Structure 1
Amino acid sequence: MTAPTPRFTASTQKRLRRLNLAASLPPVVFAAVVLVYTDARTWWHVAVLAPGAVAALVAFERWTAGDLDRFALPCAVVAAPVWPLGVLVTGSPNAYWGICAVGSLALRQVRRRRALVMAGLFSFVAVVGAMRLLVQRDDPGDVVVRYVLVPTVLTVVVTVLTVVGERFYDLIRELEQTREREAELAVVRERVRFASDLHDIQGHTLHVVKLKIALAQRLLDRDTARVAKELRETYALVSDTIAQTKELAYAQRRLNLTAEIENAKNLFEAAGIRVRVTREAEVDTRVSELLGQVLRETTTNILRHAQAARVQITLAQTGITIVNDGVTATGLPELRGLAALRQRVVDDGGELSVEQRDGRFRTAAVFAPARADAAPTVAREDGR
């Protein structure tokens, strides 16, 4: 069993909570009812034993919600007296169950001297069980087995299983944090690549412009024809740089759809997301750059905003579809990059749609057949 904490994302916390409640709460409730029914012989026995069972159920439910800190002490205060009352008053050998469950769960909240607290829990169960000898002296062996050995051993077993579950939870937490760090690193790599392209475009250009202006200043009074030539070249160079920068801003510069697909697969796999690419046909080269831009923007959005485990990329003769299962909100998130792309896709004769349905987020860019008239090929699939 695993228990989420506030450090997890909200969606992960909800999934783990639902898993724990669905898998573990019914058996815990059943055990509580059976134990109370077995030990209670009159109505007031139920009144004595029920608070321990209720405290155990509350502690378990709060544990799955990651909110046991505020409830551990109150639940322990309620469950602890039930065991002595069961031993001395009602003769209930199973009355230890409440403090056993609450104590084993509450050990997670203990940060110091956990071994000492654990030993105290075992000693409490054993010593209180031995107090049965004060009211039942005719069969000491039966008392030791039913009230001391069995409760103490089961408390030890439950505590060990809880500690193992805690270690399993820590492993899941580390894996989740690693996945988040990989996603952040993928976004950083994408930014570094953009910065590198921007430097390639503007760094050399600005340096050349600086030299040409300095040369024009020196020739201003001696060779006006040469100055005019240098200024014309400078103007053309700046115009070309502006065009390249604009293309880079829209992710079009040297953009290749095949390379973008491979890059998207690498980014998703680095973030721990399973990706599958299905190629139904070869895409017309006239629309491949814009489809690559849609794929790049969608990849960035998934890494930044979604909690996806699987991504499906489908290439058709007329476009591309990207589907992921990382829906984290009830409504469509604000995706400014795709919103800006939609008009450019429309201007090129296509349609860009974004929809969220049945826990999946679908982005599709489709062009008219005239824009993607390449001959269809045999469908093939690749992915991991």
Structure 2
Amino acid sequence: MRGIRWRVRGRDRAALESLRRYTRYNILFSVFAVGSVLVLAEVRDHLDAARLVALVAGLVLGGLGHWRWTVRSIDGPIERMPWWQAGALTALAGGLLAIAFGTEGHGVVWSLAAGLIGHDLLIGRFPEAGWRFGVGFAALMGLTAAVSMVVTGQPGAPGQGVLTFALTLLMTYAEVLLLRQWRLTLELEKARHDAAELATTKERLRLAEDLHDILGHALEVVSLKSELASRLSEVDPERSRAELTEVQRLARGAVHDVRALVQGRRSTELVIEMAGARGLLESAGIRWQFTGDPARLGAESSELLGRVLREAVTNLLRHADASHCLVRLEIRRDRAVLHVRNDGVAPMRQDGREGSGLRGLNRRITEAGGEFSAEPHGNAFEVRAEVPR
């Protein structure tokens, strides 16, 4: 099991650091407790000094290895353990058991030290092997214990070998739960961080689509009225000045809409968009017909259908040579359907792709549980949106 680190901030960082310290202290405490039990067991029996020195020296080397491969894995990723170190640690574990079982004393308790070394090998060299390595390593330690007793002529080798196998396997996995808790905490933190990043990205996308709608619509209207004012400048100066005044009003309105959007106060309700679309189409000389009752819509459906109407009118002015526009709102039991149909369809793009505004509408309507389509029908083009009420 490898250590993992992800960047976090503020209180989350403090909470993770607290859990990191808790996990580290628990592992260090387990090493200290195991070491104390082993040393006290040796001292209590007043065994020979050579055995005690050899076992304590092996215990110190095993403790250093445990710090290197287990405790440090909590602070960050660890590299793969070299094969020569894996072999040295395996020999150290086997040597401890050979000394413990080959001489008089409590040999089986040293299976705990062998288990700690087995855990280091598991996370440093064989993380993919999992339980297969644990069982194999414990079996090797049990065999070492049994062979040591047979060689030295001690009775009960099979039973001690089985007990050594069980204790080694238990100790190998004793710290797995602690490290797994730490790993799961980091993975949950990463998932939370990714969710926050995704929410930020979606909000940026929403803002970009709204800006496209606002500025695309406003610039199209400004372009239309500026062109009209230019044509009227000589034949009807009064009308030309009125159109230029309207251009100024539209530009100021677009700035206001952008500010309201950034502050989260801009509304695109269908009733509001209808009023703007009516004035725009009339100024462009396009006949307008509307049927339906927008007052029966809910807030969310009115907002969505308002966006549809605004984008449809913008595309009508930009891409079609229309003389008539029909807007029909159907209110059903639990659905609302808006049809925006105009004549004078321009030739379709050769690549068959939709504009970004239509793609954004399609995504919004679909996410809301509705259906969206925008396609030509002969010499007409129809935008259809169906949303829940």
TM-score by length of 2: 0.54
CA distance in 1, matches of 2:29, 2:174: 18
Secondary structure class of the residue paired with 1:95: helix
Summarize the Cα distance change of 1:252–1:62 in structure 2 as closer, same or farther, 3 Å threshold.
closer
Q: Is the 8 A contact 2:20 2:182 kept in 1?
A: no
Q: Does 2:238 correspond to 1:225?
A: yes
Aligned-pair distance for 1:165? 5.1
Q: Report the count of equivalent residues.
A: 250
Q: Is the 8 A contact 2:70 2:120 kept in 1?
A: yes
> Which of 203, 206, 227 in structure 2 is aligned with 1:214?
227
Aligned to 1:88: 102
- Structure 1 residues 174 and 68, CA, compared in 2 at 3 Å: closer, same or farther? closer
Structure-to-structure mapping, 1:69-80, within 5 angstroms: 69=79, 73=86, 75-76=89-90, 78-80=92-94
Aligned partner of 1:140 in structure 2 is 155
Question: Distance in 1 between the 2:146 and 2:221 partners?
Answer: 92
* Kept after mapping to 2: 8 A contact 1:201/1:245: yes
Match of 2:56 in 1: 50
2:195 is matched with which residue?
182
Residues 43, 82 of structure 1: CA spacing in aligned structure 2 closer, same or farther, 3 A cutoff? same
Whichever residue aligns with residue 19 of structure 2, its letter is: L
Contact 1:52 1:82 in 2 (8 A): yes
Conserved? CA contact 1:3–1:17, under 8 Å = no
Name 1:62's counterpart in structure 2. 72
Letter in 1 for 2:145: G
Provide the TM-score with structure 1 as the length reference.
0.55
Q: Report the equivalent of 2:353.
A: none
Q: Give the distance between the partners of 1:45 and 1:9, measured in 2 at CA.
A: 49
Whether contact under 8 Å (2:112, 2:167) holds in the other structure is no
Alpha-carbon contact 2:3-2:77 (below 8 Å) kept: no
Does 2:42 align with 1:39? yes
Mapped contact 2:149–2:155 kept (Cα < 8 A): yes
SS in 2 for 1:125: helix
The runs of 5 or more residues in structure 1 that have no matched partner are 256-384
Partners of 2:112 and 2:136 lie apart in 1 by 16
Q: Distance in 1 between matches of 2:208 and 2:221?
A: 20
Name the amino acid aligned to 2:75: A
The residue type equivalent to 2:218 in the other structure is T
The one-letter code of the counterpart of 1:183 is: A
For the residue of structure 2 that corresponds to 1:203, the secondary structure is helix
Q: Cα distance, 1:231 vs. partner? A: 1.1
The verdict on how the C-alpha distance between 1:99 and 1:171 changes in structure 2, with shifts beyond 3 A counting, is: same
Structure 1 position 238, deviation (Å): 1.0
CA change 1:5–1:77 in 2 (3 A) is: farther
1:229-248 residue CA offsets vs partner (Å, 9 max, x unmatched): 11111012212322443454
The residue aligned with 1:308 is none
The letter of the residue matching 1:133 is: M
Q: Any idea what SS the aligned residue of 2:242 has?
A: helix
Tell me by how many angstroms 1:254 deviates.
Answer: 4.5
The 5 Å alignment of 1:244-259 reads 244-249=257-262, 251=263, 253-254=265-266
Task: Name the SS for the 2:191 alignment partner.
Answer: helix
1:287-343, Cα deviation, whole Å (9 max, x unpaired): xxxxxxxxxxxxxxxxxxxxxxxxxxxxxxxxxxxxxxxxxxxxxxxxxxxxxxxxx
* C-alpha contact (below 8 Å) 1:205/1:237 kept by paired residues: yes
Q: Secondary structure at the match of 2:235?
A: coil
2:137 is matched with 121
Give, in angstroms, the shift of residue 178 of structure 1: 2.2
**Amino acid in the other structure paired with 1:195:** A
Range that drifts further, 49-58 or 226-235: 49-58
Q: What RMSD, in angstroms, separates the aligned Cα atoms of the two structures?
A: 3.3
- The amino acid of 1:157's aligned partner reads L
- Where does structure 2 lack aligned partners over 5 or more consecutive residues? 268-389
Structure with max Cα Rg: 2
- The one-character-per-residue Cα deviations of 1:239-293 (angstroms, maximum 9, x if unpaired) are 23224434544x26459xxxxxxxxxxxxxxxxxxxxxxxxxxxxxxxxxxxxxx
Find the residue that maps to 2:254 and give its secondary structure: helix
Q: Does the CA-based 8 Å contact 1:49-1:82 persist in structure 2?
A: yes
Q: Deviations over 1:136-187 (max 9, x none)?
A: 42x512x443x41222111222334455556555543442232122211222
Q: Deviations over 1:181-235 (max 9, x none)?
A: 2211222233234334433432321111011112123223322222221111101
**Whole-angstrom distance in 2 between the partners of 1:77 and 1:66:** 27
- In structure 1, what is the equivalent of residue 272 of structure 2? none
Distance of 1:254 and 1:65 partners within structure 2? 47
